Amino acid sequence: MVAVQKAQSTPSSVSSSQRSTGPSLAQARAGNGLIRRGQSGSNVRELQQELKDQGYNIEVDGKFGPETDRIVRQFQRDQGLKVDGLIGPNTSGSLHGRSTGSHDYVCKHGHRHTAPDGTRESPRAPTESQKQSSPEGTVRAADLAQADRAAHAKRETPVRPGEVTLAPPGLSDRARFDHYANIVRANGGEVNPNGQATVLGIRGMGRDGSVHDTGSTRRYDDTMVVLTPDGRVHEFEGATHPGQNSSRSSPDVAGRNGGRRDGRGDVGMINSGNYQVVPNGMRNGAPSYHVRTSDGRSGRLDGVRDTNQDGVFSRDERRRSAERGDQLTAVLFHPGGRNAPSSIGCQTMSPSDYRRFAEVIGGSRASFNYSLVDAYPRD
């Protein structure tokens, strides 16, 4: 009898992942409550599906955890909304393309479109219902990503040294974007994955297009290019190399593998390649960002050390660094000195350029991918 009563008192077998612990998207859009971190259920699943439909790489599991919170905040940044991770009328309205009174769409070539009322629309792809009423020729962001991967697959050969150039003067904004995006892809990198900015570092090429070998110079003689998801290009002077010849904070690596130590710290620079960069907090009043391996799992990066402290990374030093397996840790993007780099292996810019750089990549909490290429011809 007791067993029967228990069975009768149990409602229909609705799992906790299906029951909502907060308002639905429709209720949030109407201002009747907020969907936020910690909630779970069909409302969160619907939110995640909307984000996925718009091209964001998100798991639809009905749980509003750290990863969903991160992607919600990224969506809010992309839409120019208040970045608080809360799903209320504005954010849920933007998900449905109602914040501007029109539909969000991108054309086949990825251009940002302007709504009939003059407001800017998001470059994100429409939901299934929006696609039915979008103008002919529009495509989902996922379709663009697939096309991007297909184009990338055709470029199996990395950019050879000497083939890297600045975008020629007079190009349209779109052509300039494509010029640098092609360099990133040819180097094995991705362009704006997950709606993030992409940074291209051109080592050995100044903003005037001049090419030089790279050493520990007191000059911002490299070029940093930021490609933002809205198709814009921002170019900066920077340094991908140290600004000094030795440092007590650097290891003395020359003694490894039977070599002779000289008691001086050997500054270094990371190898060209592709990296993930994540927020690292404030440094000297400005945001800093930690450079990690391409999979984001490690901050130990392969590099080369200047073991004789002459400011030159010679062919022999590069070879010996490879043999030793030299690595750099705690490599950051951070501001350097006003007129010269201040670093033993980080990526730096002048404070004024760096402030603008931090803005265009999305602020102090932004993550981005980084492709570093060599412009100087090497044997």
Residue at 2 is within a domain: no
- Write down the residue that tokens 């998100």 correspond to: 58
Residue 122 has what DSSP assignment? P
- Tell me what pLDDT residue 22 has: 85
Alpha helices for 264-362 (secondary structure H): 315-324, 351-360
At 267, give phi and psi (nearest 5°): -70, 165
Listed residues 95, 117, 142: the one ending a domain: 142
Same domain, 163 and 247: yes
- Tell me what pLDDT residue 112 has: 36
Same domain, 179 and 108: no
Residue at 150 is within a domain: no
Same domain, 212 and 292: yes
Same domain, 177 and 288: yes
**What is the pTM (predicted TM-score) of this model?**
0.59
- Tell me what pLDDT residue 188 has: 93
- Tell me what pLDDT residue 309 has: 93
Same domain, 351 and 210: yes
Same domain, 231 and 112: no
User: What is the rounded distance in angstroms from the CA atom of residue 348 to the CA atom of residue 222?
Assistant: 10
Residue at 257 is within a domain: no
User: What is the rounded distance in angstroms from the CA atom of residue 182 to the CA atom of residue 258?
Assistant: 43
Distances 135 to 56, 108, 147, 343 between C-alpha atoms, Å: 22, 11, 20, 51
CATH number of 69's domain: 1.10.101.10
Q: CA dihedral defined by 222, 227, 231, 236, rounded to 10 degrees?
A: -40
Listed residues 108, 142, 176: the one ending a domain: 142
- Tell me what pLDDT residue 102 has: 32
- Tell me what pLDDT residue 96 has: 66
- Tell me what pLDDT residue 255 has: 63
- Tell me what pLDDT residue 262 has: 77
- Tell me what pLDDT residue 256 has: 60
Q: 178 is written with which tokens?
A: 């494509």
Listed residues 112, 142, 172: the one ending a domain: 142
Same domain, 201 and 113: no
Same domain, 123 and 170: no
- Tell me what pLDDT residue 54 has: 74
Q: 313 is written with which tokens?
A: 């990374």
β-strand partners of 334: 348
Same domain, 125 and 171: no
43 lies in which domain range? 13-142
Strands, sheet with 327-328, edge to edge from the N-terminal-most edge strand: 268-270, 301-305, 327-328
Same domain, 134 and 184: no
| Residue-level pLDDT, tens digit, the chain, 379 residues | 444 443 343 343 344 445 677 888 888 888 888 999 999 999 999 999 888 877 788 999 999 998 999 899 988 877 778 888 999 988 888 786 533 333 333 333 333 333 333 333 334 444 444 444 444 444 444 444 444 444 443 333 344 444 799 999 889 999 999 999 999 999 999 999 999 999 999 999 999 999 998 898 899 999 999 999 999 999 999 999 999 999 999 999 876 655 567 788 999 999 999 999 999 999 888 999 999 999 999 999 999 999 999 999 999 999 999 999 999 999 999 999 999 999 999 999 999 999 999 999 999 999 999 999 999 766 5
Residue at 154 is within a domain: no
Residue at 279 is within a domain: yes
Residue at 95 is within a domain: yes
Q: How many domains does the chain have?
A: 2
Residue at 33 is within a domain: yes
Residue at 1 is within a domain: no
Same domain, 337 and 292: yes
Same domain, 338 and 216: yes
